[in-house]
Amino acid sequence: MMGGSLWISRGATEAVFRRSFITVLPLALLLPTLTVSAQIGGTLDCHKICVCASNIISCSKMNLTNVPVALPQYTAVLDLSFNRIIRLRAEWTSVTLDRLHTLLLSHNNLTFLSSEAFAYVTKLRYLDLSFNGIRQLDEYIFEPLEYLEVLLLYSNCISQISTSAFSGLINLQRLYLSQNKISRLPLELVKDQTRLETLRLLDVSSNKIKVLPLHDLQALPAWVKSGLYFHNNPLPCSCEVHDMVARWHLKELSSTMDFKGSHTCLLPGHQKEKMAILDLDKQFLNCSEVRVNDKESYLEQFLVLDCDSRERHMMKTWALPGNIKVPPASVTAVKRSDGSLRIGPLKAEDSGVYTCYATSDSFNETLYVTVMVFNSTKSGGLENLKTAYTTLIACLISLVMVLIYLYLTPCRCACCPGQGLEKSDPRDSLHSSTVSISQAHEEMGQERVEGGGFAYRHVAFLQPKDQLEQNGRLNPIGEEDEEWQGDNRERRRSDAESVSSVCSDTPMVV
C-alpha cells in the first residue's frame, strides 16, 4: 500500500509540473517580445528604456526604431542618438514641445525628413542630424526653426541642397555640412542680400566641390571668410586659388590657419596628385607672391580704406601715417559709419601706412593699410609720358599748319595783311605775288630755252640768285629782273620781300 501511494504521489507531482511548464513556457517566450516592442517604440518608459532627469530625457543606444510617444511638454533636451530611427515623420510627437531646445538624432539611419518634421518643436536652438543617411534637403524644410542657432548635418549623403532649404533660419550661427557629397558651395548663405545675417561659421569641407566662386569669395567681409571652411575638396590647382588662400592666410583667418595642411588642390594629369595650395608659388605653377592691404592711387583721387576685421561689430579708430590720429574736423580724412576711412583728394605726401585699431570686449585687432600715391593723375599717366605726348601733338599741329600755309589759299578777309588792295587784282596776296614772280620766271625760262638756257621748273621755293640783299635774304628777282620790268620795280621788290618772309627764320604766330 505504501509503495502504491508513493507511486501515485510521484505521478501527481509530475503531472502538476507538466501543467506548470506548459503554462509558463508561452509567458517566457512572450517576455522578449514585450521587451523588443518596448524598445522599438511605444509610450515613454523612464524606468527601463529612457533616463529621465528633470527636463532631460535620454533614450540613447536603446535600439529604437521610432520616437517614444507621450513625451512630457516640459522636455528641454531629448537625446535619441545611436538608435535605428529611419524616418522622422510629422507625427513623431503629438504635442507641441515649446520648451524643447536641444534635439539629438545623430548616429541613426535617418534617410527621410518630413516637410513638417519640426512643426511642433519651433523653439529648437540646437539640432544634431549628423551621421545619418540623408540624401537631400528640400526647400523650406527648416523654415519653422526660427530660433535655431546650431545645425549639424555632417557625415550624411547630402548631394542636393535647395537654395531655400535654410530659409527662415534668421538666428542660425553655425552650420556644419562637411563630409557629404555636395558639389556646389551654398554661396547664398554668406553673400550679400541673401546672407544669413547671424551666420558666422559655415563648414563645407571634405565634399565634392570642384569650382569656387573666387571673385565673390574675395569680396566677402573678413569676419565671414574667417568662418568659411572649404578645405579638403577636389579643387584644381591654379594661381587664382593660391592667391585667395594666401590672402586669407596672411590675414590670419581661422578657416585657413586652423587647417593649413588640409588646403590642397589636384595637379593636372591622370594621377591627380594632391599638393598644398600655399606651395604653388614655389614650384609647378610658379605663382607670384601675394601681399595684402596695399592700395595704389593717383593724385586728386579719393580712396576708401576698409578696416576689414575678423570679428563683427567692433569699435574702429584710424591713425594717419606717422601714427597721427585723425582730426575730428578733418576734411581730407573722414571716418565713415561702417568704420572705413575716406581720404582725398590725394596728394603725394598722403602716401604711407594707415593703421586701424579694431577693439571689442573679447578681441583686439590692428590692421595696416599701405597707400602709395603716384605723382601723376590717372588720366595723364606719368609726367614724362604726359610731356612727350603733348610735345608730339604740338609738332604735328605745327606741321599741318605749315602745309596748309604753303599749299592752300591764305585768308582773303579784310583783316588779313594787304587788305587795302583791290580784291580783283590777282596780285593782292602772297600767292598772287608768287604767281607773278613765277610768270616772270616762266617768260625768262622760255627766252632761255630758245637761246639754249635752262627749262622752267615749278617749285614752291624759287631758285636763289647770286645777288643777296643787305639783310642776308635771298633776292629771288635780282637786279637783272628790275631792269626789264621797268615801272613795276618797286612792286616787285615788295613781292620778293613777301616771299622771302615765308622762308625766313622768324617764328610764325598763327
Residue-wise DSSP of 52-86: EETTEEE-TTS--SSPPBS--TT--EEE--SS---
State the pLDDT confidence band at 383, using cuts at 50, 70 and 90. low
Pairing of strands 112-113, 136-137: unpaired
Does residue 236 carry a pLDDT above 50?
A: yes
Tens-place pLDDT, residues 275-288: 999 888 776 777 87
And the C-alpha cell for 482?
628790275
Q: At what angle do helices 478-485 and 430-450 cross, to 10 degrees?
A: 90
Q: From the CB of residue 433, how many other CB atoms can be counted at a distance below 10 Å? A: 21
More confident residue, 470 or 244: 244
pLDDT of residue 389: 72
More confident residue, 26 or 121: 121
pLDDT of residue 341: 92
CB half-sphere exposure, 168, CA atoms < 13 A: 14
pLDDT of residue 263: 96
3-state secondary structure of 440: helix
Q: Looking up cell 591622370, which residue turns up?
A: 270
With beta carbons less than 8 A apart as the criterion, state whether 235 and 263 touch: no
State the pLDDT confidence band at 457, using cuts at 50, 70 and 90. very low
pLDDT of residue 409: 59
What is the model's pTM? 0.65
Give me the mean pLDDT over the 486-498 stretch.
45
State the pLDDT confidence band at 18, using cuts at 50, 70 and 90. low
Give me the mean pLDDT over the 404-420 stretch.
64
3-state secondary structure of 419: coil
Q: Looking up cell 527621410, which residue turns up?
A: 112
Across the strands, what pairs with 445? none
- Name the CA dihedral angle for 271, 277, 280, 283, rounded to a multiple of 10 degrees: -50
CA distance 173 to 43: 35
Tens-place pLDDT, residues 136-153: 999 999 999 999 999 999
Tell me the domain boundaries of the chain. Answer: 294-374, 381-408, 425-510
Give me the mean pLDDT over the 2-21 stretch.
46
Q: Between vectors from CA 58 to CA 52 and to CA 60, what angle results, nearest 5°?
A: 145
In the chain, pLDDT over 70 holds for what percent of residues? 69
State the pLDDT confidence band at 390, using cuts at 50, 70 and 90. confident
Per-residue DSSP letter, 503: T
Does residue 471 carry a pLDDT above 50?
A: no
Does residue 451 carry a pLDDT above 50?
A: no
Lowest mean pLDDT among 48-52, 257-261, 375-379: 375-379
Q: Between vectors from CA 171 to CA 167 and to CA 177, what angle results, nearest 5°?
A: 65
Does residue 395 carry a pLDDT above 70?
A: yes
Pick the CATH number of 294-374 from 3.30.365.10, 2.30.30.100, 3.40.50.300, 2.60.40.10: 2.60.40.10
Does residue 156 carry a pLDDT above 80?
A: yes
Pairing of strands 228-229, 315-320: unpaired
Scored b (16 or more CB within 10 A) or e, 119-151 reads ebbbbbbebbbbbbebeebeeebbbbbeebbbb
**Per-range mean pLDDT, top range of 123-127, 275-279, 287-291, 357-361:** 123-127
pLDDT of residue 386: 60
Tens-place pLDDT, residues 473-484: 444 444 444 444
CA distance 143 to 45: 32
Does residue 455 carry a pLDDT above 60?
A: no
Mean pLDDT score of the chain: 78
With beta carbons less than 8 A apart as the criterion, state whether 64 and 39 touch: yes
CB-neighbour burial class of residue 237 (10 A; exposed 0-12, middle 13-18, buried 19+): buried
Lowest mean pLDDT among 113-122, 169-178, 395-404, 414-423: 414-423
Give me the mean pLDDT over the 202-213 stretch.
96
And the C-alpha cell for 80?
535619441
CA distance 50 to 60: 8
Residue-wise DSSP of 389-401: HHHHHHHHHHHHH
Tens-place pLDDT, residues 332-349: 899 998 899 999 898 888
State the pLDDT confidence band at 406, using cuts at 50, 70 and 90. confident
pLDDT of residue 146: 95
And the C-alpha cell for 69?
510617444
Residue 168 backbone zone (phi > 0: left; psi -120 to 50: alpha; other: beta): left
pLDDT of residue 452: 47
Tens-place pLDDT, residues 276-322: 998 887 767 778 777 776 788 888 889 999 898 988 889 999 999 98
CA dihedral sign, ordered 163, 165, 169, 174: negative
